[in-house]
């Protein structure tokens, strides 16, 4: 990807430091310059600059792969195939849970419990692998200031009272969730495109964007000419970046996205939801949309009531 840092593409530290002094940090920064500009900055010959351009271009361009190579790489991956939600009906609908190496989209009308679900998944990702977790850190990008640390602790204590029986374990879990509040489309995109090194250095096993619809609705009035095109360009770029991170590091990525109730009612079951693609979301993402997860159902996960899961407008209870 063009947002990849130059020091990750094989350039020498000395050359990276020299480029950094001119605010040339990513492949995109480098490739936006002409060969003559690069010659002046690096002190290299014309041939040397062209060799650098070839190396950087190859590093950030998608490589051709056969279907067999993709299947073999995924089969050999040591990471789990899914992050279970610990909700049997939902895990069954999603064929095991939230898929690792894929961008999963949670959709529904406002107030239906999408953020509560994301906070729940944050807790699960920090759990040991012996408990079905990923034993890693979480990056949570919050665009609506809806994340609550108190709610995170409450869900952890309520769902797993035997494991979270000490203050130290609660502190450890909460310290593994890295929260970023980004309130504009540019901020969200910049954060996503800078996550590559953070995923490596902090051992991130789950990325959550809650929600992309919030910043899109604020900045793009689709009634104005040209706004729909710009809106779709942003969604496509954002989805492509998230999908790249998911596939590159074999981690699950969850994105919340608003979907009007009348569209949810057209989805009859989970398989239709998994391939649903409307103008409200980019077709570049792999969508495993849970039709509607009501707040009362999220509360029931904590043992307050009998639980139910509504997928594509059908509700199951136990």
How do residues 146-170 score in pLDDT, each as one tens digit? 999 999 999 999 999 999 999 999 9
CA–CA distance, 283 with 270 (Å, rounded to integer): 18
Instruction: Report the C-alpha gap between 295 and 300 in whole angstroms.
Output: 9
Residues in Cβ contact with 188 at an 8 Å cutoff, skipping those fewer than 6 apart: 141, 143, 182, 209, 212, 215, 238
Q: Is 68's pLDDT higher than 80?
A: yes
Judged by average pLDDT, the poorest of 76-80, 99-103, 112-116, 281-285 is 281-285
0.95 exceeded by the pTM? Answer: no
In whole angstroms, give the CA distance from residue 135 to residue 9: 28
Is 238 in contact with 256 (CB distance < 8 Å)? no
Centroid of chain to Cα 179 = 13
CATH H superfamily, domain 73-268+284-303: P-loop containing nucleotide triphosphate hydrolases (3.40.50.300)
Burial of 158 per CB tally in 10 Å (0-12, 13-18, 19+): middle
pLDDT band at 173 (very low <50, low <70, confident <90, very high): very high
- What DSSP character marks residue 26? B
Q: Name the least confident of 70-84, 121-135, 156-170, 207-221.
A: 70-84
**Considering the chain, what percentage of its residues have pLDDT values greater than 70?**
80
Predicted local confidence at residue 299, as pLDDT = 43
First to last CA, the chain: 45
Structure tokens belonging to residue 16: 């990276």
Number of H helices, E strands in the chain: 16, 9
DSSP lists the bridge partners of residue 209 as 141, 255
Say if residue 49's pLDDT is above 60: yes
The predicted structure's pLDDT at residue 105: 87
Residue of 203 and 226 predicted with greater confidence? 203
Give the CA angle between residues 281, 67, 56 to the nearest 5°: 75
Nearest to 227 by CA among 240, 236, 216: 216
Q: Which residue has the higher pLDDT, 126 or 71?
A: 126
Instruction: Indicate the domain borders of the chain.
Output: 6-60, 73-268+284-303
Q: 29, 5 in Cβ contact below 8 A? A: no
Distance CA 105, CA 257 (A): 7
Give the domain 6-60 fold: DNA polymerase; domain 1 (1.10.150)
N residues, the chain:
318
Mind listing the pLDDT tens digit for each residue in 268-302? Answer: 444 344 433 333 344 344 454 444 444 344 445 44
Give the model confidence (pLDDT) of 23-32 as tens digits.
898 888 899 9
Confidence at residue 315, expressed as pLDDT on a 0 to 100 scale: 38
Q: Which of 154, 77, 82, 181 is nearest to 125 (CA)?
A: 82
* pLDDT at 216 (0 to 100): 87
Report the DSSP pairing between strands 308-311 and 314-317. antiparallel
Residue 280's pLDDT is what? 38
User: Among candidates 217, 290, 247, 197, which has minimal Cα distance to 62?
Assistant: 247
Mean pLDDT estimate for the chain: 80
């Amino acid at each position: 990807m063009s947002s990849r840092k130059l020091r990750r593409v094989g350039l020498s530290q000395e050359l990276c430091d020299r480029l950094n002094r001119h605010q040339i940090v990513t492949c995109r920064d480098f490739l936006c310059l002409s060969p003559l500009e690069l010659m002046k900055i690096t002190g290299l010959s014309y041939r040397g600059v062209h060799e650098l351009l070839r190396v950087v271009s190859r590093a950030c361009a998608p490589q051709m792969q056969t279907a067999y190579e993709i299947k073999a790489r995924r089969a050999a991956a040591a990471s789990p195939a899914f992050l279970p939600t610990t909700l049997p009906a939902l895990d069954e609908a999603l064929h095991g849970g939230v898929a690792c190496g894929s961008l999963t989209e949670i959709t529904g009308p406002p107030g239906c419990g999408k953020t509560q679900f994301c906070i729940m998944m944050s807790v699960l990702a920090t759990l040991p692998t012996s408990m079905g977790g990923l034993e890693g850190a979480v990056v949570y990008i919050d665009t609506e200031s809806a994340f609550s640390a108190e709610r995170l602790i409450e869900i952890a204590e309520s769902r797993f009272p035997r494991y979270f029986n000490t203050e130290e374990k609660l502190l450890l879990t909460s310290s593994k969730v890295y929260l970023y509040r980004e309130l504009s489309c540019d901020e969200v995109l910049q954060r996503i495109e800078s996550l590559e090194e953070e995923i490596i250095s902090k051992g991130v096993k789950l990325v959550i964007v809650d929600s992309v619809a919030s910043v899109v609705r604020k900045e793009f009035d689709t009634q104005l000419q040209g706004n729909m095109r710009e809106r779709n360009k942003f969604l496509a770029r954002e989805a492509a970046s998230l999908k790249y991170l998911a596939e590159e590091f074999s981690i699950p990525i969850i994105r919340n996205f608003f979907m009007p109730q009348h569209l949810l009612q057209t989805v009859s079951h989970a398989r239709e939801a998994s391939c649903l693609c409307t103008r409200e979301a980019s077709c570049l993402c792999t969508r495993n949309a849970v039709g509607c997860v009501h707040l009362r159902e999220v509360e029931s996960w904590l043992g307050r009531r009998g639980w139910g899961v509504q997928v594509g407008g059908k509700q199951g209870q136990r």
